[in-house]
Structure 1
Amino acid sequence: MTTSAATKTAEQPYRASHRVQRVVSPGGIEAWLVEEHAVPLVALEFAFLGGTTQDAPGKGGTATMLAGLLDEGAGPHDSAAFQQMLADRAIELHFFADRDSLRGSLKTLRRHADEAFDLLRLAVNEPRFDADAIARVRAQVEAGLRHVLKDPDAVAREQFFRHAFPDHPYGRPPQGTLAEVPAIAREDLVAMHRATMARSNLFVAAVGAIDGATLAARLDDIFGTLPATAGIAQPAEVVPATADAPVVVDIDVPQSVIRFGGPGIARLDDDYLPAYVLNHILGGGSFTSRLFQEVREKRGLAYSVHTSLLPLRSSALFGGSTATKNERAAESLSVIRAEIADLLAKGPSEDELAKARQFLIGSYALHFDTSAKIARQLLQISMDGLGIDYIDRRNDLVAAVTMADVRRAAERLFADNRMLVVAAGRPEGL
């Protein structure tokens, strides 16, 4: 296969990647920077390893609440004043927690960069955790949890993780439960802030109108006084569980949401990119994927169906989902299983493989069309340990995936013919 056309499509991120600088502050804090002054914006993305896996037993939702409170007042500014200062300068500051990290993002006009960095410094180092802010964020989390109880997709997702990771932090709901969230006290938030937000588990990426020397100084201003070492515990390595019979959660709705999957392939495994290409062919390629064609286009069983790879820091998942009428749930799952079995037995066609590689190479540029997207990509590449030159190498790695590689990945993902299936609704025939 010739890759010249696809490579030309991806020229822009290739040029950008050659400008990625490794910036190290005087205090030893590292960041990856793409300096670009054509647009007067600065985007900063950062993450602290830990996330919701650090929630104490019976205190699920602590990391989620912590993330929600970091911009609800800091230093001398209460929540209303802090938010007003952000709004007056059109500064975007957000925090969120996932299973493996607590993340933040900052976007500001260059002329307001000094004020933006100072507000970020306060949020990271001096969150107030005022009683009214805690009550407000707690109420928001609880409202979200009540919504989950009525949402088949959210229920299916939560139950899938519960059964894939029993007795493991990955199996706990990231937002906690309605029984746990009321038990989270201010001292729990203070303790998690102290343990999680440290220099040893920090990753930073920046893009935009800022030079390396200025960023280096800002890194120490923002993060330099945080504890040197985080007090987090890495979750035990775990293989996702499968089950012989589907797990059905009864919800009185006309459609069932079905989630399915099993053990995946780790991000640094040599077979990850072959599995990524395979996933595109099976269900990750939207309108072109096998499952979309078989489940939606040919049979009209569902509006959408998709699959994905989810590499976690202590595990790896292959997963997928669809939603279909209760009376057609068994048929939909049967079609999905048949397509997986066919890929395992025969592999994809040469044409499918060529088109998957071409799409994945050509579309890579879309991940780098804004400063914020570039910063997020750099942050994830850094966290995954792929190397600062990965953007240069990535498309060549995809182009080099062979039929033998894809067949090997299929064997690793599907050879035991076992999956975990969770359905929320009233599916017939499962």
Structure 2
Amino acid sequence: MAAQIDYIEVKGIKVPLIFEQDTRLPLVNTQIVFTNSGTITDTKIPGLAKFSSKLLNEGTKKLGSNGFSEELESRAIHISANTGSETFVIEVSSLKDEFENATKFLNTLLKDPNYSEAALSKVKTMTLGALSRKENDYDYVASNELKKLLFPNTPLAQPASGTVESVKSIELDDVKEFVKQHLVVARAIIVIGGDLDIKEVKENMAKILNTLPKGKSEPLPHFQASDKPKESILKRETEQAYIYFGSPYNMAVNDEEYYKARVATFILGTGGFGSRLMEEIRVKRGLAYSAYARVHVNKSVSYLDGYLQTKLDSMDEAKKTVINVISEFVHKGVTKEELEQTKKFLLGSEPLRVETMSQRLQRTFMDYYKGFPLNHSETELQKIKKLKLKDLNDFVKKHTEILEQSFAIVTK
């Protein structure tokens, strides 16, 4: 059956439940998604959201990390927490026969997280080690620098994992306060699929939700990307130049014209060897092995970004080529052949994007999260199929804001 949306009423709140029954394998996959609880909330301590998720992965205080892991492994149960920009997610997977045990272990974890100095120290050591290694990952360095240019004085200007200074400053009370504020019924969305009926799902998920505070939901902030072109050049010991670029992209998360942005961006920079950027930068000029541009349209942000690596002595040429390709794209639009090839790819590859239950659940979740009806993805494909060249080019030429490119470059 296809994914459906239902609700579980807990503490006076109707919690959305996205569910798909799949009896082909005796497996169950569950996600509890907490909205407005990701790294976008790190306004005081950069990296706190990700740090909190890592500490939740250290098991319970009673059993400790190893003891809790052993209990899970003996039953083939997996529980983990992770964060995105806008959401905090707890994932649980198990065999059908262990689903009830899996919910019990999750309940135990939520009631008794491993809030110990030993766990805090362990997570700090691991996080600081990872940050240290990333100092020489120049893609990471350039990407973070671009975010600083596009979103100054916002949580997005800070690395999602935090800085050495911010991570060192985190205390147990900070994690406790984060979990208390964000892992609450009012922010929860349940996403679950597998060999279960919906009645069993509701009963077990209600037990989990009842262990959480009621809390309150808050509107997600929206951050506008800077429309004032800037450039930041960072000098490092590198044999290549890392060029990251970005601009505003004026579109709301629930814009009915998003399908046009999807087609246009595929032609500009997402479509691999068929894209404009790849054609001009790699095929014609041999300046880079690859070059990409993508559009991010979320509740909190809407912007275009892209990247490439090139030889040190061709850095300036590569940067000019990016500017020229995007300028020509906006002013002249796309060709009929480009549109038809993109249609063939997007429509032809659609079965690959919905072949697994997790893919279908994720798609249904994103449609719901963005405020669209359940069948929105299918409707969008039909719109792409019928899209006319003039309508697409009118749309492309309207988005002149992508000409306001900022550049973050790591070079020697």
Where does structure 2 lack aligned partners over 5 or more consecutive residues?
none
Alignment correspondent of 1:260:
245
| Deviation for aligned residue 1:412 | 4.0
Q: Cα deviations across residues 145-172 of structure 1 (Å, max 9, x unaligned)?
A: 1122211100011111111111112222
Is contact 1:310-1:316 (8 Å) kept?
yes
Q: What is the SS of the residue equivalent to 1:43?
A: strand
Greater relative contact order: 1 or 2 (C-alpha under 8 angstroms, separation 6 or more)? 1
2:273 aligned with 1:287: yes
Choose from 342, 347, 366 the match for 2:352: 366
- RMSD of aligned residue pairs (Cα, Å): 2.0
1:312, 1:46 → 2: CA distance? 19
2:294, 2:159 → 1: CA distance? 20
Bigger shift: residues 370-379 or 100-109: 370-379
Percent sequence identity over aligned pairs: 23
1:400, 1:20 → 2: CA distance? 26
Superposition pairs of residues 9-408 of structure 1, within 5 angstroms: 19-27=2-10, 28-49=14-35, 50-57=37-44, 59-74=45-60, 76-230=62-216, 234-235=220-221, 237-264=222-249, 265-408=251-394
Is contact 1:55-1:61 (8 Å) kept?
yes
Is contact 2:333-2:397 (8 Å) kept?
no
Q: What is the SS of the residue equivalent to 1:228?
A: coil
| Deviation for aligned residue 1:415 | 5.0
2:103, 2:197 → 1: CA distance? 14
2:219, 2:377 → 1: CA distance? 31
1:419, 1:252 → 2: CA distance? 26
Is contact 1:152-1:425 (8 Å) kept?
no
1:413, 1:156 → 2: CA distance? 25
| Cα 1:231/1:391, change in 2 over 3 Å | closer
| Deviation for aligned residue 1:23 | 2.7
Is contact 1:195-1:232 (8 Å) kept?
no
Q: What is the SS of the residue equivalent to 1:396?
A: helix
Is contact 1:255-1:425 (8 Å) kept?
yes
Q: Which amino acid aligns with 2:389?
A: M
| Deviation for aligned residue 1:41 | 1.3
Is contact 2:38-2:86 (8 Å) kept?
yes
Alignment correspondent of 1:6:
none
Is contact 2:259-2:380 (8 Å) kept?
no
| Cα 1:232/1:62, change in 2 over 3 Å | farther
Q: What is the SS of the residue equivalent to 2:403?
A: coil
| Cα 1:208/1:79, change in 2 over 3 Å | same
| Deviation for aligned residue 1:423 | 0.7
Q: What is the SS of the residue equivalent to 1:150?
A: coil
| Cα 1:255/1:314, change in 2 over 3 Å | same
Q: Cα deviations across residues 112-138 of structure 1 (Å, max 9, x unaligned)?
A: 212222222233443222221111111
Aligned length: 407
| Deviation for aligned residue 1:90 | 2.5
Is contact 2:248-2:402 (8 Å) kept?
no
| Cα 1:415/1:99, change in 2 over 3 Å | closer
Bigger shift: residues 407-416 or 323-332: 407-416
1:293, 1:126 → 2: CA distance? 55
1:240, 1:101 → 2: CA distance? 20
TM-score by length of 2: 0.93
2:395, 2:130 → 1: CA distance? 38
TM-score by length of 1: 0.89
| Cα 1:242/1:149, change in 2 over 3 Å | farther
Where does structure 1 lack aligned partners over 5 or more consecutive residues?
1-15
